[in-house]
Amino acid sequence: MNQNASAAVLAAILMGGTLPAAADSTQARCELYPKGSDKMEKMLPCTFSQRQGYITIIREDGVTYDLSPVGDTPSNFRDRNGRAVYRQSGLGEAGQIFRFPTESLFVYWDNAATESAADNATAPFATKYAGGEYDATTLLRCKTGSGAGFGQCPAGILRMENGQASIVIQSPRGVQFTVNVMTDYVNATVGEVKATLNGDLWTLIRDNGEVYEVPLSAIEGG
């Protein structure tokens, strides 16, 4: 897309109008914050699309937000689960803020900060769209044991039907292994794993003490 076309797309978005069929999306940068927190959870490239008031935001890790307008107020939406979502100003012409029940999503039109860092954040795993083999990639909260602090571990996700998936994780020690989250069981390709589902978050504890947190959205695709 040339510079004039990009400017036209952003102008249409900022005015809240409908984007033309040939230019209804733009590359952006998404920053995710837990509700009520000013500490960024992750930053990654995303695609922002808008058509006739409906908005779709697709994160590079495969999570998708589908927002449908509610009433005549351009800032009120419902997501695919029927939850209320509010679009707020505060970023000026730099982007938009979306308030979800459990998180806030900041969408910036300038994605330069993600082009080098975030594109490789989940290495050595890559999605099928980037020439890799995975349906999605992500960074999981992880730690080496009960006394250690949480860090981030890259993972590649192979999704299956009925909310099942095989997740290949690179541990804090640099060792790769696979966790299979199936309908009736959860197991790992190395040792034993204890899996607990609390709300929309799986906590996986390996027999060597390592702990991993896997959101359901990573398994199911948002």
| Omega of the bond leading into 101 within 30 degrees of 0 (cis) | no
Burial 136-158 (b: 16+ CB within 10 A, else e): bbbbbbbbbeeeeeeeebbbbbb
Tokens representing 147 are 């006394």
Which residues, 6+ apart, have CB-to-CB distance to 206 below 8 Å?
188, 190, 191, 192, 193, 212
pTM comes to 0.49
Output DSSP code: residue 18: P
Helix count (H) and strand count (E) of the chain? 3, 16
For the chain, what is the mean pLDDT?
A: 83
Query: Cα separation of 157 and 126, whole Å?
Result: 10
pLDDT of 78-132, one tens digit each?
999 999 999 998 788 888 999 999 999 999 887 665 554 445 578 888 888 777 8
pLDDT of 13-39, one tens digit each?
444 443 333 337 899 989 888 888 767
User: Residue 144 in contact with residue 210, Cβ under 8 Å?
Assistant: yes
**What are the structural domains, with CATH classification, of the chain?**
3-114 (2.30.29), 122-220 (2.40.128)
pLDDT: is 58 or 6 the higher one?
58
